Amino acid sequence: MNRYTAPLADLRFALHDVLDVDALYARLPGCETATGEVIDAVLEEAAKFAEQVLAPINQSGDAEGCAFDAATHSVRTPKGFKEAFARYVEGGWIGLTADEQFGGQGLPETLGAALKEMIDAANLSWGNYPMLSHGAASALEHHGEDWQREVFLKPLVSGQWTGTMCLTEPHCGTDLGLLKTRAEPNADGSFNVSGTKIFITAGEHDFVDNILHLVLARLPDAPAGVKGISLFLVPKFKVGKDGKPGERNAAMCGSIEHKMGIHGSVTCVMNFDGAQGWLIGEPNKGLAAMFTMMNTARLAVGLQGLGLTERAYQNALAYARERLQMRSLSGAKFPDKPADPILVHSDVRRMLLTQKAFAEGGRLLGLYAYTQEDIRKHSADAAERERAEALVSFLTPIVKGLLTEAGIECTYDAIQIFGGHGFIAENGMEQYARDARITTLYEGTTQIQANDLLGRKIMQLKGAGLKHFLAEIGAFCAQHANDASLAEFVGPLGAAAKEWGALTQEIGARAAANLEEMSAAAYDYLFYSGYVSLAYFWARAVAAADASAHGADFKQAKRLTARFYFARILPRTQTHLAAIRSGAATLMEMSDAQFG
């Protein structure tokens, strides 16, 4: 038992009924072609690709893994992966949201997010390959020169070449100020890049002939720390300004990692030995370009957590309906069978409802963030663009942090529902749990997301995104203040939003006196913020369902899941609130020696 069916009904509900993207795209310049009919057609075809091409090679790809040939520095991906990529390119999926002037289809990012959720649910390992190309393309589009966009961006968009992000070094992870990779200028305007990068996803593979590595490095006269970092494009095969590929570059895969999960996704040690590269953006301004890639990737990894949550839920629900064990405490529900399906048992339902609440609520949170990205890119109103940019910046660490941690919780719950059978590889549940574990680590750990949310988005940027989000929640609560059918959600949501604002001010005041208070509160603040955010989207989901043409069962299921969320998951905020208020002393008073 290992199945995946794209959640088309819920994706359509999220996009059309809750987020009303039909009206949004009708008014955004450049998005007018994304009509309701086009969106539904894209979703249907994407579902077929995910279900029929990617899902069947997920488990086999995990079992086979990637193989490294040290003699040729080459990597063989699992059976079917290369062919799936060729079909992905042939179908035009790789350029779905890319600008038309670079060969893309110019469709909204939100539609690309829906596609990505399906890809990651079907085959997370395979999904890493196009994800890295998307990040590299974003960096080139925003920071590359005209000739670089012509020579490098178009082949990325077409799928002729793929891309990577090369940031981490053996001694240098989050603290990029410590990186040692160097770049020496050449007379022709190129640079010789030397250094070693680790944990490079898709650094070498057999999908395409050329791979474009975006590498952080230091120029000879660069200042110390993060202010002295530049970004370079280093191709596997040299490429001149005329766009013609040349000889093999001195950029080689030295080895691949043997990992806990995502076995079908190759993770490389990359050695650059005077490899020819081209400067992207201004000298010593590489962090800005890097964060263009990183923020794109962080939202994308949040969708990975969402996809795994959905996949785990589907399989756990199917098993719970089939597996017979004991009788319901309130009496046999299937007296003609030797026992009842485990779906009748309350704690199995608790785990299933947790998965359902995170999948459907998380889908709204993730897609909403992408609608703000579309507004930021396309709106003709400068104030609206500024608001959207603040919102997507604020929500990125919440999407990445909460949805990946939820993915871990929900994939582990799937194992628990399967019982001993969940521990057996043939059933596939343990793969989801192993795959989910990396999502809270790469593209910035959960702790990095927490510090980014509280330290930068709240303290440094004075909570601009939070203010917009709280105002939106407040407007929703005011709109439905007299709606008796939503009272059970609107009242608690309004109270939680008010508490969120007050808590933020409280942390700010304490951090002003002692900066350790900010760091000590960050992790719990991230989850507090995430749970309130999901409460908002669950309240919106019930309101949208009630107003929709969906059937009674669909509407009731939304209401009952929202009721479960508000009763069983939203109260987790109070645990995080208590932890925040316990202060930094509970973490910092113990001396190093007393740890033992």
What would the DSSP string read from start to end of 251-283? EEEEEE---SS-TTS-EEEEEEEEEEEEEESST
Average of per-residue pLDDT across 349-353? 98
Model confidence at 548: pLDDT above 80: yes
Average of per-residue pLDDT across 468-479? 98
Same domain for 204 and 234, yes or no, is: yes
Model confidence at 299: pLDDT above 70: yes
Q: Model confidence at 271, in pLDDT bands (50, 70, 90)?
A: very high
In a domain, 593, yes or no: no
Model confidence at 522: pLDDT above 80: yes
In a domain, 386, yes or no: no
Residue 415, C-beta contacts closer than 8 angstroms, at least 6 positions apart: 422, 423, 429, 430, 433
Decide: helix, strand or coil at residue 133: helix
pLDDT digits (tens, 9 = 90+) for 104-132: 999 999 999 999 999 999 999 999 999 99
Helix axes 429-439, 286-322, angle to 10 degrees: 160
Structure tokens of 569?
């998951």
Same domain for 131 and 194, yes or no, is: no
User: What percent of the chain has pLDDT above 70?
Assistant: 100
pLDDT digits (tens, 9 = 90+) for 512-521: 999 999 999 9
Cα–Cα distance measured from residue 410 to residue 355, given in angstroms and rounded to the nearest whole number: 5
In a domain, 136, yes or no: yes
Q: Where does residue 298 fall: left (phi above 0), alpha (psi -120 to 50 degrees), or beta otherwise? A: alpha
Same domain for 39 and 95, yes or no, is: yes
Cα–Cα distance measured from residue 483 to residue 493, given in angstroms and rounded to the nearest whole number: 14
Same domain for 137 and 52, yes or no, is: yes
* Residue length of the chain: 596
Same domain for 120 and 253, yes or no, is: no
* Residue 73 CA to its chain's centroid (Å): 30
Is residue 242 classed exposed, middle or buried when 0-12, 13-18 and 19+ CB atoms within 10 A define those classes?
exposed
CATH number, domain of 173, equals 2.40.110.20
Helices (H), 379-463: 382-418, 429-439, 446-451
CATH number, domain of 42, equals 1.10.540.10
Q: Model confidence at 289, in pLDDT bands (50, 70, 90)?
A: confident
pLDDT digits (tens, 9 = 90+) for 382-407: 999 999 999 999 999 999 999 999 99
Query: What string of DSSP letters covers 55-107?
Result: GGGHHHHHHH--EEETTTTEEEPPTTHHHHHHHHHHTTGGGSSS-GGGT----
User: What phi and psi values does residue 335 have, to the nearest 5 degrees?
Assistant: -60, -20
* Residue 508 CA to its chain's centroid (Å): 28
In a domain, 246, yes or no: yes
Model confidence at 178: pLDDT above 70: yes
**The predicted structure's pLDDT at residue 1:** 59
In a domain, 389, yes or no: no
Q: Model confidence at 2, in pLDDT bands (50, 70, 90)?
A: confident
Same domain for 114 and 231, yes or no, is: no
Residue 527, C-beta contacts closer than 8 angstroms, at least 6 positions apart: 401, 402, 405, 572, 573, 576
**In terms of Cα–Cα distance, which of 151, 156, 157 is closest to 278?**
151
pLDDT digits (tens, 9 = 90+) for 478-489: 999 999 999 999
Cα–Cα distance measured from residue 273 to residue 540, given in angstroms and rounded to the nearest whole number: 54
CA dist 11 → 115, 363, 371, 546 (Å): 10, 8, 14, 17
Q: Which residues pair with 232 in a beta bridge?
A: 215, 279
Average of per-residue pLDDT across 72-86? 98
Is 443 an annotated catalytic residue? yes
**In terms of Cα–Cα distance, which of 318, 308, 313 is closest to 342?**
318
Cα–Cα distance measured from residue 292 to residue 283, given in angstroms and rounded to the nearest whole number: 16
Residue 118, C-beta contacts closer than 8 angstroms, at least 6 positions apart: 6, 46, 47, 49, 50, 307
Cα–Cα distance measured from residue 590 to residue 596, given in angstroms and rounded to the nearest whole number: 11
Decide: helix, strand or coil at residue 242: coil
Structure tokens of 492?
């608690």
Same domain for 124 and 88, yes or no, is: yes
Same domain for 488 and 524, yes or no, is: yes
In a domain, 22, yes or no: yes
**The predicted structure's pLDDT at residue 143:** 94
CB atoms within 10 A of CB 17: 19
Q: Model confidence at 172, in pLDDT bands (50, 70, 90)?
A: confident
Cα–Cα distance measured from residue 395 to residue 398, given in angstroms and rounded to the nearest whole number: 5
Same domain for 500 and 567, yes or no, is: yes
Cα–Cα distance measured from residue 518 to residue 511, given in angstroms and rounded to the nearest whole number: 5
Structure tokens of 377?
């890119």
Structure tokens of 520?
């000590």
Q: Which residues pair with 68 in a beta bridge?
A: 75
Average of per-residue pLDDT across 185-197? 97
In a domain, 424, yes or no: no
Average of per-residue pLDDT across 26-38? 97
**In terms of Cα–Cα distance, which of 329, 349, 546, 311 is closest to 430?**
311
> Where a domain ends, among 285, 317, 338?
285
Same domain for 78 and 169, yes or no, is: no
User: What percent of the chain has pLDDT above 90?
Assistant: 95
Q: How many domains does the chain have?
A: 3
In a domain, 75, yes or no: yes
Same domain for 167 and 144, yes or no, is: no
Average of per-residue pLDDT across 58-74? 98
**The predicted structure's pLDDT at residue 245:** 86
Q: Model confidence at 288, in pLDDT bands (50, 70, 90)?
A: confident
Among 322, 443, 472, 488, the active-site one is 443
CA angle 527, 532, 535 (to 5 degrees): 130
User: Between β-strands 251-256 and 74-76, what pairing exists: parallel, antiparallel or unpaired?
Assistant: unpaired
User: Between β-strands 162-166 and 211-217, what pairing exists: parallel, antiparallel or unpaired?
Assistant: parallel
pLDDT digits (tens, 9 = 90+) for 554-584: 999 999 999 999 999 999 999 999 999 999 9
**The predicted structure's pLDDT at residue 176:** 79
Model confidence at 532: pLDDT above 70: yes
| Domain of 506, in residue numbers | 448-587
Same domain for 172 and 225, yes or no, is: yes
CA dist 515 → 177, 507, 508, 523 (Å): 21, 10, 9, 15
> Where a domain ends, among 232, 261, 285?
285
**The predicted structure's pLDDT at residue 112:** 98
> Where a domain ends, among 228, 251, 285?
285
Structure tokens of 200?
């490079």
